[in-house]
Structure 1
Amino acid sequence: MSSKGNTETEAFELIEGHYLVGNQGIYKVQEFLGEGAFGKVAKCSKLGSQEMYAIKIITHVEEGMEEFESMKLIKALDPDENHLIKMYECFSFQNMICLVFEILEESLEDFLNKNKCKATPLTYVRAIAQQMFQALQALKSIGVVHCDIKLDNIMFADKQSLKFKLIDFGLALETEELSTDTDVKIDIQVNPFRAPEVILGLPLDESVDMWALGMVLACVYRGNYIFPPKSEYETDKAEHRTGLRCRA
């Protein structure tokens, strides 16, 4: 078995009650919040502290280090003031990369599913828009593009006060890199949040994030997708019918 396969097996053998030894302390896995192709996200307590953390446990070291490097791009920004996820540390543990984040509540995707995809009050939409516009403005000020804005990647920080945060900078790029890399378009954004210029292979900049955020806001307001999530072709066809196409 390859080392890559071994790494995946070790990561998924983690169970509740196991410990992760970090640089700033020892974390105990309380429960798993989710999982994906990257690995798992665990809710963890820190020994000697009452604080809880969300630790993203990434099974592939290279991918984990890439996400860590992406987080370093935004380290100059105040995460609370700019509505961005806060990262505390990154460490390697038993061939896995562990990124320690503040713990948030639920994603917009989970929120809509719990509400059975009903339309969302405008007070929510307005709060999301205002806070995410501020987040994007902050990213633009340091020349960074998120590249993966979607329902899963905007979370409630405090549902009662309608505070939200932008998470998951695993695909984030510097604007200059995005505008010069002709191959990057195939690796960013997902349907139905993919901007027309990404689909059409046109020059890219931070406006791809604004398009994706617009689609998120429309989804939240309506309770469902504006464009079909199946394929680029279906999304492109729907955009053409509505006239929502970028101008070359």
Structure 2
Amino acid sequence: MSEIDENEEILQKMMNMTSKNMKQMKMKEHYKIIKELGSGSYGDVLLAEHKITGKTMALKLMKKTSTRKERFLMEYCISLCLSSHLNIIKTYTVAFETNRYFIFAQEAAVAGDLYSLLEPRVGLPEPIIKRVAKQLAEALDFIHSKALVHRDLKLDNILLFDKECHLIKLADFGLTRFMDFLISPMSGTLPYSSPELCSLEDSETLPLDPSLDAWAFGILLFCISTGYFPWNTAVCSDTQYEEFASWQRKENFIDIPSSWKIFTSQALDMFQKLLTINPDKRGPAAEVLKYLTVPWRKAVLKIT
């Protein structure tokens, strides 16, 4: 039995046990709702206080009308398995259901998410960028060591515990699956998606691979460095992406696309590894750790 098969078997046992022991109860009998932290098509995230222990936590509510129980159990159990890492949101052994929702509890992030910190067209200070890069690289490396792929790395899913990003945590494992799981095209224009995913036809599938996370990581690092995305979609019809792809194929620093000229040669080398067009040659997320001691953005000359 392969490592992936073993891990899948363990996860299935956890899901079965959780399903067997999960209680039905009225949320407001046990929790005082403080405020809403977020909402989406899945449901809501609420900041709540347990009435007996006084402990504050985030409750993730997933609508039964749009969420299969198996999907809820998978997200909860994967989150629980990964939450031992410092830079992954901690999930508590609290899962229950109401008439309308499946619910599980996680630690509450006190300082919002990375999206809320970003100033459009400006980006973040380089020390903060590198703190984010280091912590995310280590979190992704841990996830990949478990034969899992996050699949939804984006600004909104990076939670902050201080505004200087000394502690950040990766969250939302609703799309996380084991390597080689076959995925279908995702709808909409997705600036974090890799070219091999963007080029999928409706009936095609792609085996899940950590290189998808590495690509999204590269896009996220560009975004927090500049305050914008390098392109809308990684397809040839997108002019900005095609300029980048052409530059990549030349394998040198001549004719660098204008939006990439703010970066040093060392940073460009890092981006070229994370954003290699061929997924088989793409560098892992942990590659970023080699570049933390070199400058990423060129110094701006001030004329006096």
- TM-score using structure 2 length: 0.64
Q: Which residue of 2 aligns with 1:92?
A: 97
Identity across the alignment (%):
25
Q: Give the Cα separation in 2 of the matches to 1:159 and 1:67.
A: 31
Q: Which residue of 1 aligns with 2:27?
A: 20
Kept in 2: contact 1:143–1:174 (CA 8 A): yes
Q: Give the Cα separation in 1 of the matches to 2:141 and 2:154.
A: 17
Q: Which residue of 1 aligns with 2:198?
A: 199
Q: Which residue of 2 aligns with 1:68?
A: 73
Q: Which residue of 1 aligns with 2:285?
A: none
Query: What displacement does 1:208 show?
Result: 0.4
Q: Give the Cα separation in 1 of the matches to 2:48 and 2:81.
A: 26
Kept in 1: contact 2:79–2:173 (CA 8 A): no
* Change beyond 3 A, Cα 1:203–1:43: closer
RMSD in angstroms over aligned alpha carbons?
2.6
Rg (Cα) greater in structure: 2
Q: Give the Cα separation in 2 of the matches to 1:76 and 1:56.
A: 17
Kept in 2: contact 1:155–1:167 (CA 8 A): yes
Q: Give the Cα separation in 2 of the matches to 1:247 and 1:196.
A: 9
Aligned pair 1:222/2:226, yes or no?
yes
Deviations 1:218-238 (A, max 9, x none): 10110111112xx56578543
Q: Which residue of 2 aligns with 1:6?
A: none
- What are the within-5 Å matches in structure 2 for residues 167-178 of structure 1? 167-177=171-181
Kept in 1: contact 2:114–2:156 (CA 8 A): yes
Q: Give the Cα separation in 2 of the matches to 1:212 and 1:48.
A: 41
Kept in 1: contact 2:180–2:207 (CA 8 A): no
Q: Which residue of 1 aligns with 2:116?
A: 110
Query: What displacement does 1:39 show?
Result: 1.4
Q: Give ranges in structure 1 of 5+ residues lacking alignment.
A: 1-18
Aligned partner of 1:247: which letter? N
Query: What displacement does 1:37 show?
Result: 1.0
Q: Give the 3-state SS of the residue equivalent to 2:138 in structure 1.
A: helix
Kept in 2: contact 1:127–1:162 (CA 8 A): yes
Kept in 2: contact 1:74–1:139 (CA 8 A): no
Q: Give the Cα separation in 2 of the matches to 1:188 and 1:143.
A: 25
Choose from 154, 160, 164 the match for 2:158. 154
Q: Give ranges in structure 2 of 5+ residues lacking alignment.
A: 1-25, 201-205, 249-275, 280-304
Deviations 1:149-199 (A, max 9, x none): 01111111233562111100000010032xxx2xx1314996100011211
Q: Which residue of 1 aligns with 2:278?
A: 247
Q: Which residue of 2 aligns with 1:238?
A: 240
* Change beyond 3 A, Cα 1:37–1:75: closer
Residues matched between the structures, number? 217
Kept in 2: contact 1:156–1:163 (CA 8 A): yes
Q: Give the Cα separation in 2 of the matches to 1:162 and 1:189.
A: 33
Aligned partner of 1:195: which letter? S
Aligned partner of 1:226: which letter? P
